[in-house]
Structure 1
Amino acid sequence: MKRGIVVAGGTVDSGMKDILENREGGTIVIGVDRGISVFIRIGLQADYYLGDLDSIDSADIPLIPKDRLHKFPAEKNASDLELALALCVELDLDEVFVYGATGTRWDHSFSNLLMLKRFYDLGLQVILANEKNQARVLSSHQTIRKEEVESYRYLSILPLSMGGVLVSETGVKYPLDQERLLFGQTRGVSNESIGEDIKIEVMEGVALLILSND
């Protein structure tokens, strides 16, 4: 599996240096606009730097390696993060963790969550992550097991399909057995791991899986 890490311009984990230094070999790393400053601050290099550079500290711009920079105009029809994920598709990556995709701007945060479905349909599993949360798309005939969720206390299934999703959950406080969760319904929010063999299976539809800790 070909993996990537994208560091965007929102709120970034304090442990970002450890995440980058301990990444799996061969992982492609991309710094996006203000996220580029993270690499300069911690003294690490990304494989690609991308963005319009309108939100980065001007003192950092001369420090960006020009041979790794994909610069775009400020006025364009896609966000810098969307362009970075499009690059991941071009690079034929299978899975990418995105840090700094959420912050104080609700419009950016919400659009970034919705982008997960678009890029999932293009064959790229995008996982938004921060110190407390992780979000990814689940679709029909896809199963999530304990090792993928065990470090989180809460898990929520939010239907993205207008017809809802058919889902089963075991190893959780509120098990579900082929239950249909409707779009806009909160039935799937804030289930809890109880330390057993957790299994989440979507039989029909597309959902957002959000893992959380307090």
Structure 2
Amino acid sequence: MIINILAGGPEELLPDLTEYMKENVKWLGVDRGVYTLLSKGIEPEIAVGDFDSVNGEEMLFIEQHVDELQKFKPEKNETDMELAVEWAIRQNPQKINIFGATGGRLDHLFANIQLLLKPILNKKNIDLELIDCQNNIYIKSEGTYEIKKTPDRKYVSFVPITLSVEGLTLTGFKYPLTNCHIPLGSTLCISNELIDDRGTFSFHEGIIMVIRSCD
């Protein structure tokens, strides 16, 4: 099962959501993202948020079209997105895709990127990815991973989010690496490119963020 989460970020930054409408997919709307889903003809199975970004008419429309509505007070310890991600993780899917979570406020962007750590911190084998029209972002702990070349995401960057990443090795890339120490704050691994149809990245200690981007 795949769970797709749509938040209320700028619609112009969304990818084509029809590409993610596959079998065995559940949609979850967050705050204004619920209204956006409904306006695109996608009915979410659940809606989560304090809904402070929709007006009364839009809220009524949401209430009429969503069976399960989890409405929270604005004064709470978690963001709407965190509540949504926690719900999604409890469903134990294979993958969670997050849309509408970039653009606008930088505090929300950094908070949403930090949420990518939740499966690792909770020892869950769930792929969690943040996607917009220009970027795919995900986080990995130590291991060996395959990565495929895709024309619409030419650039691949590796950003340590622990004090260091140890033993980073890149194969199939324009700028390969072998058993490198990458400290926090390093820009060594920004804007690499795959030269083979498939490549691999591996490391034996730390946590790394992978960003696939286009211009």
TM-score (norm. length: structure 1): 0.90
What is the CA deviation profile of residues 130-185 of structure 1, one whole-angstrom value per residue up to 9, with x for unaligned ones? 111000011111313226x5641101111112133421111211101111111111
Match of residue 188 from structure 1: 189
Query: CA, structure 1 residues 179+17, in 2 after alignment: closer, same or farther (shift >3 Å)?
Result: closer
Does 2:132 correspond to 1:133?
no
2:53 is matched with which residue: 41, 52, 55?
A: 55
Amino acid at match of 2:78: A
Match of residue 77 from structure 2: 77
Residues 83-102 of structure 1: pairs in structure 2 closer than 5 A: 83-102=83-102
Amino acid at match of 1:28: K
Match of residue 175 from structure 2: 174
Whole-Å separation in 2 of the counterparts to 1:87 and 1:141: 27
For the 8 Å contact 2:44–2:66, the answer to whether it is kept is: no
For the 8 Å contact 2:45–2:67, the answer to whether it is kept is: no
CA RMSD across the alignment: 1.8
TM-score (norm. length: structure 2): 0.90
Whole-Å separation in 2 of the counterparts to 1:17 and 1:158: 27
* Higher percent of residues as strand: 2
Describe the SS at the equivalent of 1:156: strand
- Give the share of equivalent positions with the same residue, in percent: 28
Match of residue 160 from structure 2: 159
Superposed displacement of residue 14, structure 1: 5.0
Aligned residues: 210
Query: CA, structure 1 residues 16+50, in 2 after alignment: closer, same or farther (shift >3 Å)?
Result: farther
Match of residue 33 from structure 1: 31
Structure 2 stretches of 5 or more lacking a match? none
